[in-house]
Amino acid sequence: MEETRPKSRSQCLTDVEQAVDQLDVSETGREMLRLLVKSSYGCPVKERHRYQDAAARLVEEAFQDEEEVLQARSREAADKADKCRSDAQERAGKLRTSKEGFTGTISAFRAAKETFLADNQILQQRRRALDQSVQDLRRCQAKLREATGCKDQLQQALAVLPGILEGTARDETVIVLLGEVALEDSLKTAALSSLKLPAEARGSFDKAVLEQLHGALSRLLEALPGAEAEQLAVEEARVSEEAAASAFVQARAAQSTSAHALRLCELELRWAQGAEGAALECLQEKEQELRQFERELKATNEALHQFRQGPMASLKVLQEPEIAVVPLKTPTKGKQDSHVHDPTSAGVPTPVRAAAVL
């Protein structure tokens, strides 16, 4: 590694003069400091007048003030960087919290979705079960009607026939029923004619026909099968249909509840996603601000370092007395200087008024 040669006093004086332009003083102050530098540090220390010593102290104070200004700027930049770094760490913590919350809402949303899908599947199953039970009930009712025939109509007709005979009732059900029941054609024809007549216009023949009709309908009703098995099947099918309908209502309520919960989880998921994005954006802004403060801190520290290593170091060199090394004389043969071999005096530097030795 190449060694750096020390600066001469003239170079140090030039550095100090040039550094005056960097000082945070007015232009008039700079002009005065330039004159003070030349008049004080341009002269050897031991030959300075007391006014030159005072001028040197003024220059030294100005440079110390500048160093303090640079130190204050460095401290201020460090404080800003520390504050910004602390804020960045706080925002990083908020981002971690937001990420954890976002992850939690994702899990909750997935669980709510699975619940909804399961409830929806159950609802579809209950819907199919209800449809099947309705079809079973209708089929059982159809079998019952097939087994019992026109039992209800026969019972109704027999109930109103006494009133028809007395002339106090008139029911078209009997007339309609005559076209469906198995009776002799002659009896049907005669009964239809008698039924159409008013009660006061009927004769003994009409009354006999209607009595025969009542007996025939009674015998038909007694001849109809009981259909107990079909009736029981209808009752069981009706119970199954009611249970299926109740189960379907419950499943629909559960599916509605899980759908509402899924919607809420979806909204929370979107909110958490937005919160994470906002936290990330805030952190990135603070990190960018921190990089700026760190650049400013580096610049101020570099400026302080350069000032200390440059003008301040040169100023310290100029504050030291000038020294020079007196070269030793070569002794003549057979005769030696008594001081040549004196270890206490050989090579001891003495102050001179010449320019500084490199």
217 with 185, same domain: the answer is yes
In a domain, 342, yes or no: no
CA distances in angstroms from 56 to 10, 29, 48, 61, 306, listed in the order given = 16, 15, 10, 9, 21
Start-to-end CA distance of the chain, whole Å, equals 20
- Mapped onto helix, strand or coil, the DSSP state of residue 131 is helix
Provide the 10 A C-beta neighbour count for residue 238.
Answer: 15
In a domain, 229, yes or no: yes
CA distance 20 to 267: 66
Return the DSSP state at 345. T
The Cα diameter of the chain in Å comes to 197
44 with 171, same domain: the answer is no
315 with 263, same domain: the answer is no
In a domain, 356, yes or no: no
In a domain, 341, yes or no: no
195 with 262, same domain: the answer is yes
- pLDDT for 322 equals 64
pLDDT digits (tens, 9 = 90+) for 140-156: 988 877 766 667 777 77
CA distance 65 to 11: 23
pTM of the model: 0.51
- Mapped onto helix, strand or coil, the DSSP state of residue 317 is helix
CA distance 67 to 328: 43
164 with 232, same domain: the answer is yes
- Note every long-range contact of 4-8, with CB atoms under 8 Å and residues 24 or more positions apart, other chains counting: 5/358, 6/358, 7/314, 7/317, 8/355, 8/356, 8/358
169 with 243, same domain: the answer is yes
> Looking at the 3D structure of the chain, how many domains does it have?
2
67 with 16, same domain: the answer is yes
270 with 304, same domain: the answer is no
177 with 95, same domain: the answer is no
143 with 270, same domain: the answer is yes
- pLDDT for 1 equals 44
- Cβ pair 317, 63 in contact under 8 A: no
Mean pLDDT over all residues of the chain?
79
In a domain, 125, yes or no: no
The tokens for 218 are 């009674």
In a domain, 331, yes or no: no
CA distances in angstroms from 126 to 23, 112, 133, listed in the order given = 90, 21, 10
259 with 157, same domain: the answer is yes
In a domain, 119, yes or no: no
In a domain, 116, yes or no: no
CA distance 34 to 347: 37
- pLDDT for 217 equals 77
Which portions of the chain are predicted below pLDDT 50? 1-2, 324-330, 332-358
The tokens for 350 are 């003495």
pLDDT digits (tens, 9 = 90+) for 157-199: 777 777 777 666 666 667 767 766 667 778 878 877 877 777 7
Range of the domain at 262: 138-276
- Which backbone phi and psi does 271 adopt, to 5 degrees? -65, -45
199 with 313, same domain: the answer is no
